[in-house]
Amino acid sequence: MTRTDPVSPTMAPGARAPAKRLELVCPAGSLPALRTAVDQGADWVYLGLRGATNARNFPGLNFDENGLRQGIAYAHRHGVQVLLALNTYPQPQSWTLWTQTVDQAVELGIDAIILADLGLMQHARQRHPELALHLSVQGSATNYEAINFYHERFGIRRVVLPRVLSLAQVEHTVAHTPVDVEVFGFGGLCVMLEGRCTLSSYVTGASPNTAGVCSPPEAVRWYERDGARETRVGGLLVDRYEAGENAAYPTLCKGRYVVGGQRYYSFEEPASLNTLTMLPQLLAAGVRAIKLEGRQRSPAYVAQVTRIWRAAIDECCADPEHFVARAEWQQDLATVSEGGQCTLGAYHRPWK
- Across the chain, what does the average pLDDT equal? 89
230 and 82 within one domain: no
The gap from C-alpha 79 to its chain's centroid, in whole angstroms, comes to 22
Concatenate the DSSP letters of all residues of 147-210 into one string: HHHHHHHH---EEE--TT--HHHHHHHHTT-SSEEEEEEEEE---S-TT---HHHHHHS--TTT
pLDDT level of residue 192 (50, 70, 90 thresholds)? low
φ/ψ of residue 323, rounded to 5 = -70, 135
**Domain end position, chosen among 265, 281, 310:** 265
pLDDT tens string 93-143: 999 999 999 999 999 999 999 999 999 999 999 999 999 999 999 999 999
Burial class (CB in 10 A: 0-12, 13-18, 19+), 145: exposed
**Domain end position, chosen among 231, 265, 299:** 265
**Domain end position, chosen among 265, 294, 310:** 265
The residue type at 153: R
**15 within some domain:** no
15 CB-side CA count, 13 A: 20
pLDDT tens string 283-337: 999 999 999 999 989 999 999 999 999 999 999 999 999 999 999 999 999 999 8
341 and 216 within one domain: no
Contact 238, 247 (CB under 8 A): no
317 and 230 within one domain: no
**50 within some domain:** yes
Least confident span in 88-102, 141-155, 217-231, 337-351: 337-351
Distance CA 129, CA 140 (A): 24
**211 within some domain:** yes
Question: How long a stretch of residues is the chain?
Answer: 352
176 and 299 within one domain: yes
**10 within some domain:** no
**7 within some domain:** no
177 and 289 within one domain: yes
- Asked if residue 7 has pLDDT above 70, the reply is no
Contact 58, 213 (CB under 8 A): yes
260 and 333 within one domain: no
250 and 128 within one domain: no
**11 within some domain:** no
Domain that holds residue 328: 23-189+271-348
More confident residue, 16 or 338: 338
pLDDT level of residue 91 (50, 70, 90 thresholds)? confident
260 and 276 within one domain: no
**194 within some domain:** no
237 and 146 within one domain: no
Say which CATH number the domain at 155 has: 3.20.20.380
pLDDT tens string 226-252: 889 999 999 989 998 888 887 778 888
- Asked if residue 13 has pLDDT above 80, the reply is no
Task: Please state the domain count of the chain.
Answer: 2
Distance CA 16, CA 70 (A): 35
Contact 91, 170 (CB under 8 A): no
130 and 46 within one domain: yes
93 and 59 within one domain: yes
**4 within some domain:** no
309 and 217 within one domain: no
Bridge-based pairing of strands 180-188 and 272-274 is antiparallel
